[in-house]
Amino acid sequence: MNGKKAADTLLKAFAAGVFISVGGAVFLSCESRYLGALLFAVGLFVICTMGLLLFTGKVCYVFENDLGYAISLILIWLGNLAGCTVSAALFRMTRIAGIAEKAAGMCETKLAETPASVFILGIFCNILIWIAVEGYKKNPHELGKYLAIVFGVVVFIVSGFEHCVANMFYFAVAGQLSGQAFTFLAINTLGNAVGGVFMPLLLAACKKLA
């Protein structure tokens, strides 16, 4: 990957982190968890329609691409982290800084989880992200494309599944980006990666057996 391509990847990943942060901010601002989950979908909606780069969406296609694509996932993860961290720092300087308190409570719960729990919840989260992204890409109906995004996001949030980029924002806005938080994010990321490739590999196996 040349320098120009790497810069483009980082910028698009940074922007994706910003919009996931916007989704996270509106979720934290809502009294209703269900309404917050619905409005969080704005993040993935913008990312899909604007062609931005989100780790959890892009990792689903790692086995369909070359080694360069796999390496780019590292840059995308870092770009997402930067976008979330900068957004969180800016939010904490405004009148909506109160969302940090709610985020801190969520982060305490997350950090008390076992590694196995984080990993499993990460798998199921990205199965839903794959459904959302694949549905947006391949559903022939315009309404179906956007319903795929909404249902994928709402279900993973209400179910309590773990999304590594959303969690980057929650830890950052809560001021809890510690070593423990990065361990959590590493396990969460691995779970998301496994969940992201699960359905493509399963469908490929079914096609071979057909």
Instruction: List pLDDT tens digits, range 73-125.
Output: 999 999 999 999 999 999 999 999 999 999 999 999 999 999 999 999 999 99
The answer on pLDDT for 35 being more than 90 is yes
Tell me the average pLDDT across 34-61. Answer: 97
pLDDT band at 21 (very low <50, low <70, confident <90, very high): very high
Rounded-to-integer distance, Cα 13 and Cα 33, Å: 27
Tell me the average pLDDT across 128-154. Answer: 95
Tell me the average pLDDT across 115-140. Answer: 97
Q: What are phi and psi of 206, to 5 degrees?
A: -65, -40
How much is the CA Rg of the chain, to the nearest whole Å?
A: 16
pLDDT, tens digit, 9 for 90 and up, residues 153-187:
999 999 999 999 999 999 999 999 999 999 999 99
The answer on pLDDT for 1 being more than 80 is no
Q: Residue 200: exposed, middle, or buried by beta-carbon count in 10 A (0-12, 13-18, 19+)?
A: middle
Share of the chain above pLDDT 90, in %: 96
Indicate the average pLDDT of the chain: 96
Kindly report whether the global pTM for this prediction surpasses the value 0.75. yes
- What confidence score (pLDDT) does residue 100 get? 97
Q: Residue 205: exposed, middle, or buried by beta-carbon count in 10 A (0-12, 13-18, 19+)?
A: exposed
- What confidence score (pLDDT) does residue 38 get? 97
Domains and CATH numbers, the chain: 3-209 (1.20.1080.10)
- What confidence score (pLDDT) does residue 110 get? 98
pLDDT band at 145 (very low <50, low <70, confident <90, very high): very high
End-to-end CA distance of the chain: 38
- What confidence score (pLDDT) does residue 208 get? 87
What CA–CA distances, in Å, run from 124 to 63, 110, 147, 161? 19, 16, 19, 6
Residue 202 tokens read as: 């399963």
Rounded-to-integer distance, Cα 21 and Cα 8, Å: 20
pLDDT band at 3 (very low <50, low <70, confident <90, very high): confident
- What confidence score (pLDDT) does residue 210 get? 75
